[in-house]
Structure 1
Amino acid sequence: MLFQTLTFLTFFTIVFAIYWMLQRRWQNYFLLIASYVFYGWVEPWWLLLIALTSVVDFTSARFINKRPHQRNRFLLLSLITNISILATYKYFNFFSSSVTSLFNQFGFETDPFLLQVALPVGISFYTFQSASYVIDVYRGKVEARRKLPDYLLFVAFFPQLVAGPILRANDLLVQIEKPRTFDARIARSAVLLILWGLYKKLVIADNVALVANKIFALDTPSFPIVWAGAFAFGVQIYADFSAYTDIARGCSRLLGFELCQNFNHPYLADSPQAFWRRWHISLSTWFRDYVYFPLGGSHGSLLQQCRNLLITFLLSGLWHGAAWNFILWGAWHGALLVLWTLWNRAPASLRPEKIPWLLRVVLTFILIHVGWLMFREQSLSHLWAHLTQNPFTAPEADWRAALRFAFMAAFYALPLYLVHPLIDFWLHRKQADSTSQHYPGWKWTTVITAASALIYWGIIILRSPETADFIYFQF
């Protein structure tokens, strides 16, 4: 069920209307039912997996508290269950094909054994969300919950189920357990957030996708065409993924929940470290807290720190997809962070901060888009050809075409830099706290209403003739 469809609009309208008519004790039960309907809409058998993950993790956390002398066993039970389900449905075919190809290289001709099942949408997101709860209970940061329905809703909460943000128990579960009241002022900000998300998806991402898809469908695009495509894809994936987050946050606000911000102008980052503090923040912090820190983080020798960075980002690449280009993308970002770490240990006069901020932003932007080329191009042979092309052999006509493509992508991307800061200002600084004595009055209400109307008509007039699933649905 896609956010940008009439089906979802109808579904959410019914859920919203019934939800606020119910007493508080029934709201969570109703949201749980709605979330399972949402997730099982296309493939009902997916509900078995999310229910199994939820019940095993809920039970494991309970026993970690009740039997502390056996806590390691129950943590292991949870992790094995989560990893087994994820590995089977997301990675089995990839590893089977890779091992078979390796055997064939040595003369052992065989065909891979492949599972003929669809990848459950959002399995990586809800698996990480549920696993973080058990780990936090194990570490003593969170108390194990007693109400299974509340925990089932925590894992399956439909606005953020399919593509995040990945939330912790202290972010979402505590809100599920508290009473909620409808606030018209918060609702207005939620509508603005939803409309802005739809604009980013239907106008920016989907229009720029036409450029990126056209370029990457070519057999042998020249150097300037390839990099115009990489730039277009960078715009597309940012607008597409942040659009999902905005719509998820807006829908959650309408239901009385506040989700974390998942993006913070990532293309203004002046280093790879800064980029990952701004891009897909909930996933970055998940890998930091549950992979990088347990490996040792920045403690230990420089060699150990570099090792920890590389392992973390290789796993992050594998999380994004069961394909070698994603692993290569993760290795690229791990290498960037290692190089930046080494650069920061250079003599003071040679460190990155000595370079003007704007140049650091441009350099980071270019390096990130080299990574996006790896992310987008799934054929390793084509990727190698793209990366090793001679820019001086491209005909002049291709340079002119590349400039047109880049200009088109930049034109659609302008609202991300011009409008987005204003949206952030209105929503995050002026309307995040409904209990504040400085909550905006009728002037801000008028501004938000006018902005919502402008964005709505922008969608009607400028939306792409073609639309597709959100990119991160595949993860």
Structure 2
Amino acid sequence: MLFTTLSFWGFFAIVGLAYVLLSHKAQNRMLLVASYIFYGAWDWRFLSLILLSTLVDYFVGLAMERETRETRRKRLLYVSLACNLGMLAVFKYLGFFVDSFAGLLAGFGYEADIFTLSIVLPVGISFYTFQTLSYTIDIYRKELKPTDDFLDFALFVAFFPQLVAGPIERARNLLPNIAKPRILSWEALSRGVVLVLIGLIKKVVIADAIGPSVDAVYSSPDPTRLDIVFATWLFAIQIYCDFSGYTDIARGVAKMLGFSLMRNFAQPYFAADPQEFWRRWHISLSTWLRDYLYISLGGNRGGPTKTYRNLMATMTLGGLWHGAAWNFVLWGIYQGALLSIHRALTGRNGHSGEGTNRTFWSWLKRAFAIAAFFQIVCYGWLLFRATSFSQISDFTGKLLGLSAAPMGLTMPMPPFPALLGMVFLFVWDMFTERTGNVRFYSGWPLVSRAALWACMIYLFAFGATTTTSSFIYFQF
């Protein structure tokens, strides 16, 4: 059930009606059943994986809390790590590494007769395994007390709005929201509706509409230089609108039910350097990698060399998290290199120039820095979107003028509603950035707010495509 289909909104209408009629505990049990139905609609067989992760981490958490001996607590943590990372390894990476090994042998002249299973990637597995891992790691670090309510924990793992593409919630944030009665209000309902509407505009009006233009260039055997430039700019917009659109809808649906999910994007293309970008892009993943991988590797302790090593390792593994393909690994290496170079140039506490209290010239300087850094980000998206190393080499050579390429623009242009949607989103993000308030419109007069809502509804109705595609991050 995609958020952009009538089947989901019919499902949510039934859930919402039952929700307002039930008591707190009954709400939680109903949401758990609804979450399993939601996930089972993709492929009911993979419910066993969620259930396995839930059972293991629930009992590991309770056992770690009772255990006083450090060696046994560590062994229990290893059980959680082996279960969750083992599922990821088998279902997401086994075929990739086996195929890569066979290719390596072939490069040395050995024909490897290797048998591999055709394994279907369970949707959302990267998200919910990281979510449950944060629970057991926090308990091991004695930063969190485990819950003794199995069904509440099961709802934390499988909560349907953010189950398949995040945000990756922490137990200390979401579990208290599950355990305590939630207060429903018209304010929360209206905030949820606005989030859903802006998310649908991002996904349906913009991302789905510009996707064919991007695909046309990245599937072309010989695109022009301008085609590559414009397609990569458009892909940067597509992936932002697609992923942040999912998050907005998930947060909006949760808000209507009385839950508060973390913000996952904060105008990332207004970043002026790589450190700032990763404070704004996929915040739940970047903070997860920082707290559970980068710090565990040693963080910035041990001098610059070890810091750069830890940054590179963290971002490389972060790239691999996105998918079982070498271009994702290369993208992770690229991001790690950017962070390392930025740290080497600016130091540990490099200042990015964020904030609103600055002169006209400092604003202008920051605008140039943002525009320049956006090009650096876009080259990273070229690595991310490319279908092969040969395409990366070909596109890079054309962009740098190292290989001959015509200059004309031949790619199909996005439809007018998508262009209008991009203008609307830019203005929306500008208001959010300038005010530092995601609800910048809340203080407006009622007439102005009504006009804004009417504009959003009209844009969605005017720009909605007849067909919609799956969210890009479902494959991760």
Q: Same fold (TM over 0.5)?
A: yes
Q: Could you list the per-position Cα deviations for residues 357-390 of structure 1 after superposition, in whole angstroms to 9, with x for gaps in the alignment? A: 2222122101110000000012111111111225
**Segment drifting more, 418-427 vs 148-157:** 418-427
Quote how far apart the aligned CAs of 1:404 are: 6.1
| Contact 1:31/1:157, CA 8 A, preserved across alignment | yes
Q: Does 1:419 align with 2:421?
A: no
**Segment drifting more, 103-112 vs 22-31:** 103-112
Residue 437 of structure 1 corresponds to none
Q: Could you list the per-position Cα deviations for residues 260-303 of structure 1 after superposition, in whole angstroms to 9, with x for gaps in the alignment? A: 11111100101011000000001000000001111111222111
In structure 2, the gaps of 5 or more residues are 354-361
Residue 232 of structure 1 corresponds to 234
Q: Distance in 1 between matches of 2:436 and 2:161?
A: 22
Residue 260 of structure 1 corresponds to 262
| Contact 1:235/1:409, CA 8 A, preserved across alignment | no
Q: Distance in 2 between matches of 1:45 and 1:66?
A: 34
Which residue of the other structure, out of 275, 292, 315, is the alignment partner of 1:313? 315
Q: Distance in 2 between matches of 1:163 and 1:170?
A: 19
| Contact 2:417/2:462, CA 8 A, preserved across alignment | no
Residue 77 of structure 2 corresponds to 75
Letter in 2 for 1:248: A
Distance 1:447 1:405, change over 3 A: closer
Matched ranges for 1:241-390 at <5 A: 241-345=243-347, 356-389=365-398
Q: Distance in 2 between matches of 1:272 and 1:428?
A: 22
Which residue of the other structure, out of 182, 187, 190, is the alignment partner of 1:188? 190
Q: Distance in 1 between matches of 2:448 and 2:91?
A: 47
Q: Distance in 2 between matches of 1:137 and 1:473?
A: 29
Q: Distance in 2 between matches of 1:409 and 1:344?
A: 38
Q: Distance in 2 between matches of 1:237 and 1:244?
A: 11
Secondary structure, counterpart of 2:44 in structure 1: coil
Q: Distance in 2 between matches of 1:39 and 1:445?
A: 39
Q: Does 1:36 align with 2:36?
A: yes
Quote how far apart the aligned CAs of 1:445 are: 5.7
Residue 356 of structure 2 corresponds to none
Distance 1:290 1:215, change over 3 A: same
Matched ranges for 1:98-247 at <5 A: 98-247=100-249
Q: Distance in 2 between matches of 1:291 and 1:173?
A: 23
| Contact 2:105/2:111, CA 8 A, preserved across alignment | yes
Distance 1:410 1:275, change over 3 A: farther
Question: What TM-score, normalized by structure 1, do the two folds share?
Answer: 0.91
| Contact 1:249/1:259, CA 8 A, preserved across alignment | yes
Calculate percent identity across the aligned residue pairs.
41
Distance 1:345 1:15, change over 3 A: closer
Distance 1:445 1:62, change over 3 A: farther
| Contact 2:205/2:460, CA 8 A, preserved across alignment | yes
Question: What TM-score, normalized by structure 2, do the two folds share?
Answer: 0.91
| Contact 1:270/1:357, CA 8 A, preserved across alignment | yes
| Contact 1:225/1:402, CA 8 A, preserved across alignment | yes
Quote how far apart the aligned CAs of 1:406 are: 12
**Segment drifting more, 377-386 vs 418-427:** 418-427
Aligned residues: 461
Residue 468 of structure 2 corresponds to 467
Q: Distance in 1 between matches of 2:186 and 2:451?
A: 16
Q: Could you list the per-position Cα deviations for residues 157-185 of structure 1 after superposition, in whole angstroms to 9, with x for gaps in the alignment? A: 00000100000011111100010121012
Quote how far apart the aligned CAs of 1:221 are: 1.1
Letter in 1 for 2:254: S
Secondary structure, counterpart of 1:256 in structure 2: coil
Letter in 1 for 2:60: S
Distance 1:444 1:43, change over 3 A: farther
Quote how far apart the aligned CAs of 1:113 are: 2.6
Distance 1:38 1:427, change over 3 A: farther
| Contact 1:189/1:427, CA 8 A, preserved across alignment | no
Q: Distance in 2 between matches of 1:180 and 1:444?
A: 29
Secondary structure, counterpart of 2:8 in structure 1: helix
Q: Could you list the per-position Cα deviations for residues 38-76 of structure 1 after superposition, in whole angstroms to 9, with x for gaps in the alignment? A: 001121011000110111011111100111212111001
Q: Distance in 2 between matches of 1:7 and 1:352?
A: 44
Letter in 2 for 1:454: C
| Contact 1:352/1:360, CA 8 A, preserved across alignment | no
In structure 1, the gaps of 5 or more residues are 432-439
Quote how far apart the aligned CAs of 1:110 are: 2.0
Q: Distance in 2 between matches of 1:202 and 1:407?
A: 13
Q: Could you list the per-position Cα deviations for residues 128-159 of structure 1 after superposition, in whole angstroms to 9, with x for gaps in the alignment? A: 00000000000011001101000000010000
Distance 1:447 1:151, change over 3 A: farther
Letter in 2 for 1:119: L
Q: Distance in 1 between matches of 2:448 and 2:352?
A: 41
Residue 359 of structure 2 corresponds to none
Matched ranges for 1:433-444 at <5 A: none
Q: Distance in 2 between matches of 1:226 and 1:80?
A: 42
Letter in 2 for 1:3: F
| Contact 1:232/1:406, CA 8 A, preserved across alignment | no
Secondary structure, counterpart of 1:419 in structure 2: helix
RMSD between superposed Cα atoms in Å: 2.5
Q: Could you list the per-position Cα deviations for residues 285-344 of structure 1 after superposition, in whole angstroms to 9, with x for gaps in the alignment? A: 000000111111122211111001000000000000000000000000001111111111
Quote how far apart the aligned CAs of 1:429 are: 4.7
Residue 406 of structure 2 corresponds to 395
